Amino acid sequence: MDTTPFLRMSGVRKRYGGVTALAGADFAADAGTVHAVLGPNGSGKSTLLKVLTGVVAPDAGEVLLDGRPLRPRGPRDTLAAGVSAVYQELSLIDDFTVLDNLVLGVEPTRFGLRDPRAARARALPWLERFAPAFGGRVPAGERAGDLDPGERQVVEVCKALVRDPRVLVLDEATASLRRGQVDVLFEVLAELREQGVLVLFITHRLAEILALCDRATVMRNGADTATVTVGEVPERELVELMSGGAGAQDRPAGQAGAAARPDSGARPAPPAAPASAAEPLLEVRELSGARLHGVSLQVRPGEVLGLGGLQGQGQSDLLAALFGADRRTGGTVLLNGAPVHPRSPKQAVRAGFAYVPGNRGAQGLALGRPVLENFALPSVGRRAVLGAALSRRRELAAARAVAERIGIRYGSLDDPVSTLSGGNQQKVVVGKWFPTEPAVVLMDDPAKGVDVGAKAEMFAVVAELAAAGAAVLLGSSDDRELVEVCDRVLIMFEGRIVDEVSGDRLTEDALIAASMHITPADATAARGLPAPDREPAASDGGGRP
Ligand SMILES: Nc1ncnc2c1ncn2[C@@H]1O[C@H](COP(=O)(O)OP(=O)(O)OP(=O)(O)O)[C@@H](O)[C@H]1O
Ligand SMILES: [Mg+2]
């Protein structure tokens, strides 16, 4: 055993007002390993790694890198020391090209480079290496704002890699990636490990820990509780470490009622049986938009319908179009048999739609506003319709009830929602819809970054909404989630529905097969056009990570 680890953090403390983010955390990791950092939402994972990268100044504690104390005055200092990070909050500038984003802020002296052209030349190979994650293209000259969320995330990773790190911090970098993209990332990370890089990897996905990580440190209430060698503990124990009974302790005392949650936390309640005889509650006929081409589907009351397929095949576009956030260019949407055409999210809410976006920063939350206000946003439209003005007290009570149910960890409901941990922010995005009793629930990757315990509880609430008669349309980057939560899953490709998987056929393998085995001929048949000369994005896929 090596007694002097490459990285050692000891006694790290950080408080924000009344909230203790870190309560004396210790952490040690070796070069040439992939080291997972696990724990429930709000347990201090991001804060710990932000102390390492110099983004957060700790109240107390020490960081030793390669035997030398690291006392950064900011991220620039740690970058120079070889620590590079991808944070939960994304950092790309939409109007810059991908390549310009990659070289932005690269310390020229570190490479002895003064010439921006040379920096670009250094960045380009990373984009080429990740080409399969961009569906085979190298998007160097594309506007970052035009990429889908998964692709943007891959660019973030490239941006960290261009800085040539000795320590690479990935804070839930896979949360919005689909399988093919994760495959490429994992290949690269394995190569980096071979080269002696330390990769610190925060995730809530068990499969990723098993596939990639050598060691794992579990956080709880701002402190480390265990560090294990992944191959040496049974899978069940890992799940327990990630979630088991721990959620309750990660909430302020006032919210202790939320302690009741499933043991393993891995499996949400089964979906309500669809009333197959019932008339569809939501019917979409030949819907078209910028990236949608003649989409038709039906969802019955009580049914949870999934949207699967490779990433960026129109799933998000479909959900946004139904919510009135993206323009429709054709087609009909019927709600209970009557045509609806919401031209804005506000109109959609009044019609009975709820929408959980995949990008909480841009669409889901008013980040600078208080937690309570963010809860109140969606009910405003409904309230006006119902003519019942909610008092602040009732608003508080409703927000508290939801927070307790899905275990949202916050200091005060009056704090800006931006002070919540990433997973807790996402819980607000989802939870704020629960009291509105929507007829149709549109969800775009709602469980992104949510810990396993809360995820089970969240989908249990979704199942309850369905059981109460709502129609649920769920897009997800996680095939396992689709299998567990949905009654049927539609496979999308290039803005069209090309397949449906349901009943006994609904397994992860079947979803992968249906997503990957779309031949150009299938796609052509689906749209009634001549065969494309380009291979579909499916060709990037290898084995599972
Ligand atoms: N800037 C801040 N202001 C106030 N409180 C904060 C701030 N940053 C973090 N916190 C609080 O510190 C605690 C730990 O947050 P942190 O982001 O480290 O959690 P996490 O383990 O990364 O959770 P997640 O899995 O949800 O990302 C949370 O309760 C959070 O609300
Ligand atoms: Mg975090």
Q: Which residues of 344-359 are buried (b: 16+ CB within 10 A; e: fewer)?
A: ebeebbebbbbbbbbb
Distance 210 CA to ligand 1 centre (A): 25
Ligand 1 atom with the shortest distance to the CA of 50: 18
CA–CA separation, 9 vs 87, rounded Å?
A: 19
**Mean pLDDT of the region 220-238:** 92
Higher pLDDT, 93 or 249: 93
**Mean pLDDT of the region 118-146:** 92
What band does 269 get if pLDDT is binned at 50, 70 and 90?
A: very low
* Residue from 229, 225, 216, 267 nearest 246 by CA: 225
Domain assignment present for residue 151? The answer is: no
DSSP state of 60: E
Distance 116 CA to ligand 2 centre (A): 33
Distance 46 CA to ligand 1 centre (A): 7
Ligand 1 and 420: CB distance under 6 A: yes
178-182, 308-312, 504-508, 525-529: least confident range: 525-529
Angle at 159 between CA 157 and CA 164, to 5 degrees: 95
3-17, 55-69, 378-392, 406-420: least confident range: 378-392
Residue whose CA is closest, atom 8 of ligand 1? 419
CB proximity list for 43: less than 8 A, separation 6 or greater:
219, 220, 221, 222, 246, 250
CA–CA separation, 258 vs 251, rounded Å?
A: 9
192: tokens are 């980096």
Total residues belonging to the chain: 545
pLDDT of residue 535: 40
CATH number for position 28: 3.40.50.300
Domain assignment present for residue 128? The answer is: no
8: tokens are 């050692």
Ligand 1 and 477: CB distance under 6 A: no
pLDDT tens profile 321-343: 999 888 888 999 999 999 999 98
CB proximity list for 91: less than 8 A, separation 6 or greater:
156, 159
Distance 344 CA to ligand 2 centre (A): 32
Ligand 1 atom with the shortest distance to the CA of 47: 18
Q: Specify whether 464 is located in the same domain as 333.
A: yes
* Residue 544 predicted with pLDDT over 80: no
Distance 319 CA to ligand 2 centre (A): 26
Q: What does the mean pLDDT of the chain come to?
A: 82
pLDDT of residue 77: 86
* Residue 41 predicted with pLDDT over 70: yes
SS3 call for 123: helix
Domain assignment present for residue 360? The answer is: yes
* Residue 248 predicted with pLDDT over 60: no
CB 248 within 8 A of CB 256: yes
Q: Specify whether 215 is located in the same domain as 318.
A: no
**Mean pLDDT of the region 477-481:** 86
pLDDT of residue 187: 97
CB 92 within 8 A of CB 101: yes
pLDDT tens profile 506-535: 998 888 888 876 554 554 555 444 444 434
What band does 254 get if pLDDT is binned at 50, 70 and 90?
A: very low
Distance 21 CA to ligand 1 centre (A): 6
Distance 171 CA to ligand 2 centre (A): 7
Query: Which numbered ligand comes closest to the C-alpha of 425?
Result: 1
* Residue from 132, 163, 147, 164 nearest 98 by CA: 147
* Residue 368 predicted with pLDDT over 90: no
14-23, 144-153, 267-276: least confident range: 267-276
Q: Specify whether 405 is located in the same domain as 326.
A: yes
pLDDT of residue 123: 92
Residue type, 94: D
Boundary-marking domain end, from 250, 271, 292: 250
CA–CA separation, 203 vs 45, rounded Å?
A: 10
Ligand 1 and 47: CB distance under 6 A: yes
Q: What percent of the chain is predicted at pLDDT more than 70?
A: 82
Best mutation site among 14, 37, 46 for ligand 1, i.e. most ligand atoms within 8 A of its Cβ? 46
Q: Specify whether 37 is located in the same domain as 85.
A: yes
Domain assignment present for residue 296? The answer is: yes
Beta strands in 87-125 (DSSP E): none
> 3-state SS string over 483-536?
HHHCCEEEEEECCEEEEEEEHHHCCHHHHHHHHHCCCHHHHHHHHCCCCCCCCC
Ligand 1 and 409: CB distance under 6 A: yes
* Residue 201 predicted with pLDDT over 60: yes
Q: Specify whether 319 is located in the same domain as 212.
A: no
How many structural domains does the chain have?
A: 2
Sign of CA dihedral 171, 368, 478, 515: negative
CA–CA separation, 111 vs 133, rounded Å?
A: 27
Q: Specify whether 351 is located in the same domain as 475.
A: yes
* Residue 446 predicted with pLDDT over 60: yes
Q: Specify whether 347 is located in the same domain as 465.
A: yes
pLDDT of residue 59: 97
SS3 call for 328: strand
Q: Specify whether 243 is located in the same domain as 385.
A: no
Q: Specify whether 166 is located in the same domain as 32.
A: yes
Best mutation site among 19, 169, 174, 202 for ligand 1, i.e. most ligand atoms within 8 A of its Cβ? 19
369: tokens are 């506003």
> How would you classify the pairing of strands 223-229 and 215-220?
antiparallel
Domain assignment present for residue 103? The answer is: no
Q: What is the dihedral of CA 394, 398, 403, 405, to 10 degrees?
A: 140
Q: Specify whether 168 is located in the same domain as 33.
A: yes
- HSE-CB at 304 with a 13 A cutoff on CA atoms is 27
* Residue 34 predicted with pLDDT over 80: yes
Domain assignment present for residue 518? The answer is: yes
94-103, 280-289, 377-386, 503-512: least confident range: 377-386
Q: What percent of the chain is predicted at pLDDT more than 90?
A: 47
pLDDT of residue 385: 42
Which of the given ranges, 80-84, 214-218, 240-244, 419-423, has the highest pLDDT on average? Answer: 214-218
Domain assignment present for residue 311? The answer is: yes
SS3 call for 297: strand
pLDDT of residue 268: 41
Domain assignment present for residue 499? The answer is: yes
Q: Specify whether 245 is located in the same domain as 292.
A: no
* Residue 249 predicted with pLDDT over 80: no
Q: Specify whether 393 is located in the same domain as 479.
A: yes
Residue whose CA is closest, atom 19 of ligand 1? 42
Boundary-marking domain end, from 205, 230, 250: 250
* Structural domain span for residue 420: 282-540
pLDDT of residue 518: 59
pLDDT tens profile 388-438: 455 677 778 888 888 888 788 888 888 888 888 888 888 888 888 877 788
Distance 264 CA to ligand 2 centre (A): 21
Residue whose CA is closest, atom 2 of ligand 1? 419
**Mean pLDDT of the region 291-308:** 95
